[in-house]
Chains A and B, each alone.
Chain A
Amino acid sequence: MPLTRRKFLRVGGSTAALLATVGCDQWPRELRVLYQPAKPGGPFQPPATAEIDAVTHVLNRAAFGARPGDYERVRQLADTPELAAAAYLEQQLRPENIEDERAEFAVRRFETLSVPLGELFEYQEELLHNELMRATLARAVLSERQLFEVMVQFWSDHFNIDPSKGDCKWLKVADDREVIRKHALGRFPDMLRASALSPAMLWYLDGRVNRRANMAEKPNENYARELLELHTLGVHGGYSQKDVMEVARCLTGWTVRSTNQKPYFEIGKVEFKIHQHDCGAKEVLGELVPAIPGNLNKAERERRGKAELDRVLEIVTRHPSTAKHIATKLCERFIADETPAGAVEVVARAFSRSEGDVRATLRALFQTEEFQQQRGNKFKRPFNFIASALRATDARTDSGIEIIDYLRRMGHAPFNYPTPDGYPEPAAPWLGTLLWRWNFALALGENRIKGTKVDFEGLLKNSGGDDGLMAHLLGRQPSAEETQAYHDSGAGLALLLASPAFQRC
């Protein structure tokens, strides 16, 4: 029996029971209506437990923190916090089923996000960069597809591109759209291929000048090295300098039309030039890539030359080190700075078995005991701190440059990291940012940030007074000391946002 939206809504209260009996994989598609977008403004129930429960945990880790009412909404998904958390994660793993009008509406004003690749060059680079940063923050704050946005951030770091290099100023916008956002919860091999042929990546890691028209020419190894070291196998993944060289040779001939080339309308177009391709035999990680005979016709040589890219990507994606590398990074992001070996192994296996299916991999991660047990042990990076503060306070914000400036000060504005390794995930490099966090907490609490407004009275009332507000922001009941500090501080909201507990997730 097909379940209509209306019919399903009528089932109402029995949904929790239904969820508890149906395995995650068999949930009907119509379950999406369970996740109603937040209705700001009404009274809500904050967490009542002394410690962070499973629901708050997933809102901290798989989302950019809880908005007013999120806890209650998720908690009602099932009988126990654990089942409710699992149900929430399962919804989040299917962002295509989640309506996201508010975020979509909010980013609609950033016109450049949807400008086709070839037209991006008509815009000023500063506008492009600002809109991309602002949209990223707006989505983190407003989107209902929180896990998706978390993964967008994860992959943006993994496939980091610093837009300040060459044509990346323009091309990163397309990379964000066509590589990162398109595949964030898709299949890793697809994302890797999209990244390898992304005009921005061809610029950023010099793939565009990797050519060998004659034997005297030396291929540019930059992309090949980072492909192995950062994007796939990892630095100790078992490849040699020779492998780097051989991968570079396989990728010779790929290039992208740049702004100083004519015709103007084909800027950013990715091309393969067989005469700049090294047609000799290569050996990548022990696998032979045969030579392309010179007596074949041009079309055939071109086809084989291009195919070497896919061959290389296939070899590196199914290498066990890649599964381990991605698993380690995911565990670092979702579990702990010191990645637990057991969980890494489980996640790596899921990655390998699913051939790099990001959802299957995350599902395995979320089911590990390590993920479920290690709560509140991560230090929010500055972006996550700001996004979670805006969410927790239900701030109305234009995610403007004033807020981006706070991120710049803390060294964590989106798309401002120079090296291909992306912003670091562990706590250590971010510990010097506390003062700017406290200043932000104060400015937000006192409504001093232009373009951003917090309705403190409403928030206080809806959360049920001081105790409720504390529980909402801390994700649990406050300790005696926290309560004391809240009242002593003379700036309760700022104190909570600046508190140690709010820096953790």
Chain B
Amino acid sequence: MSEVQSFLNGNGDERRALVVVFLRGGADGLNLVAPLEDDGYHRSRPRIALGKQEAVPLDGFYGLNPLLKPLETAYRDGALAIVHAAGSEDNTRSHFEAQDLMEHGGITGGGWLGRFLRAQNRTASGPLAAVALGKAIPECLRGAPAATVLQSLDDFSMGENRSRLTQALAKLYGMQTDVLAGAGRDTLEALQRVEQLRKSPYHPAHGADYGRDDFSRGLLQIARLIKSRVGLQAASVDLGGWDSHFSQGTLMDPLMVRLARGLSAFYQDLGAEMQTTTVVVMTEFGRRVEENSAFGTDHGRGSVMFVLGGGIHGGRVLGKWPGLSREILEGPGDLPVTTNYRNVLAPILQRHGAGEKLGQVFPDFSLEPLPLYG
């Protein structure tokens, strides 16, 4: 074997996959994971607060929205951690600005995931190292070495009946003595594996039950790619529509159902492979603590993040709860951010091999990684 790094032939366990789920529109953390024991919460939301009886109790203080109940298993397994009052330093309360800042990882070029992958792949990068499920590459993957946008696995193919061509290419690339040899081999290998995937119907393992919506389907494709060891390092998938200014329930309920169903199916489907996989769920900001006249909530600051994956010391709600008294709230009455999202991502990226490059991924920020793993 040449000195060229191979992405596919190594020990699959060394490959770790990071899945980023972005809830676009500013998801209301207080409605996803409610601070049931904080009276301020019930006072501020007389009509839309979760009742102590309906929520899924987590730790005596917080309760999970009942529509997120499918996530309870992972939480009880210790594989799911929740971070409350998490978010960014951006206080514009503008979707665009806040998403931009969060995905770029500061006022800087390129996305944090893109920079992470570049730092990882100084020597080379595989054809399916970074995948965005959807129609476009999200900002967090900007600047990544060759991020691939896939709507389905069919997009990763050379078409039907190309075996003569691919064999001829295999021969020529096999003769190379430099980096092209490895790149060619990896590409052909990835093609072959995806080809096999496409031919065989996919049966999610362990009775995992994905929905038929785009979010579930995206996660399903990601699960397939992870299981087939095509060198996937990072994947992103969005779930949008959380901008619940009015009739919050009508808007958020179906999204929560989709979120919980997709994530729990993914968790079940991957089984032991979850050990080398991390899913992080984030949103650009939370909502105003006080409900508005239209049964909704306006743009706020702190929200929640979910981290699902191997090695996590989960089954906990992390992050400092600041309280909801008036002098604590920020600006027009928003939950302050007590955990910067970078401090949630930092330990995850460490686990995924960032090493000393972490500073490059999050420049101009002094990190205090959250103890997710211990």
Residues in A lying within 8 Å of B, measured CB to CB: 162, 379, 409-411, 417-421, 427-435, 438-439, 442, 481-482, 484-486, 488-491, 494-495, 498-500, 503-504
Contact = CB atoms under 8 A, between A and B. Distances in A.
A489 B169 CA distance: 8
Contacts of A489: 164-165, 167-169
Contact of B110 (A418, A427, A488, A495): A418
A435 B145 contact: no
B96 to A, nearest CB: 11
Contact of B146 (A417, A429, A442, A494): A429
Contacts of B111: 418
B147 interface: yes
B121 interface: yes
Given A439-B158, A442-B165, A500-B180, A428 B127 contact: no
B162 interface: yes
B310 to A, nearest CB: 25
Interface of B: 104, 108-111, 114, 118, 121-129, 139, 142-149, 156, 158-159, 162, 164-165, 167-169, 171-173, 175-176, 179-180, 182-184, 187, 190-191
Contact of A434 (B121, B127, B139, B147): B127
A108 B124 CA distance: 40
A429 B127 CA distance: 10
B118 to A, nearest CB: 7
A482 B146 CA distance: 28
Contacts of A495: 165, 168-169
Contacts of A432: 124-129, 145-146, 183, 187
Residue among A431, A435, A499 facing the most chain B CB atoms (10 A cut-off): A431
Contacts, number: 117
Contact of B180 (A379, A409, A429): A379
A435 B190 contact: yes
30 contacts: A379-B179, A379-B180, A411-B145, A411-B146, A411-B147, A418-B104, A418-B110, A418-B114, A418-B143, A419-B109, A420-B109, A421-B109, A428-B122, A428-B123, A430-B145, A431-B124, A432-B145, A432-B146, A434-B127, A435-B191, A438-B158, A438-B187, A442-B165, A485-B168, A490-B164, A490-B165, A498-B169, A499-B172, A500-B172, A500-B180
Given A419-B110, A431-B183, A434-B127, 6 more contacts: A418-B104, A418-B143, A432-B124, A481-B175, A491-B165, A498-B165
A442 B166 CA distance: 11
Contacts of B104: 418
Contacts of A434: 127, 183-184, 187
A438 B145 contact: no
B157 to A, nearest CB: 8
A490 B165 CA distance: 6
A504 B184 CA distance: 13
A488 B168 contact: yes
Contact of A418 (B123, B142, B146): B142
Contact of A435 (B108, B109, B149, B187): B187
A499 B148 CA distance: 22
5 closest residue pairs by CB, A with B:
A419-B109, A429-B145, A485-B168, A489-B168, A432-B146
A433 B139 CA distance: 20
A300 B172 CA distance: 69
A409 B149 contact: yes
A433 B146 contact: yes
Given A411-B145, A432-B146, A500 B122 contact: no
Contact of B179 (A428, A433, A499): A428
Contacts of B191: 435
Nearest to B4: A431
Given A409-B148, A435-B190, A485-B171, A429 B118 contact: yes
A488 B125 contact: no
Contact of A427 (B144, B168, B169, B179): B179
A486 B139 CA distance: 41
A434 B121 CA distance: 16
A489 B182 CA distance: 21
A379 B187 CA distance: 16
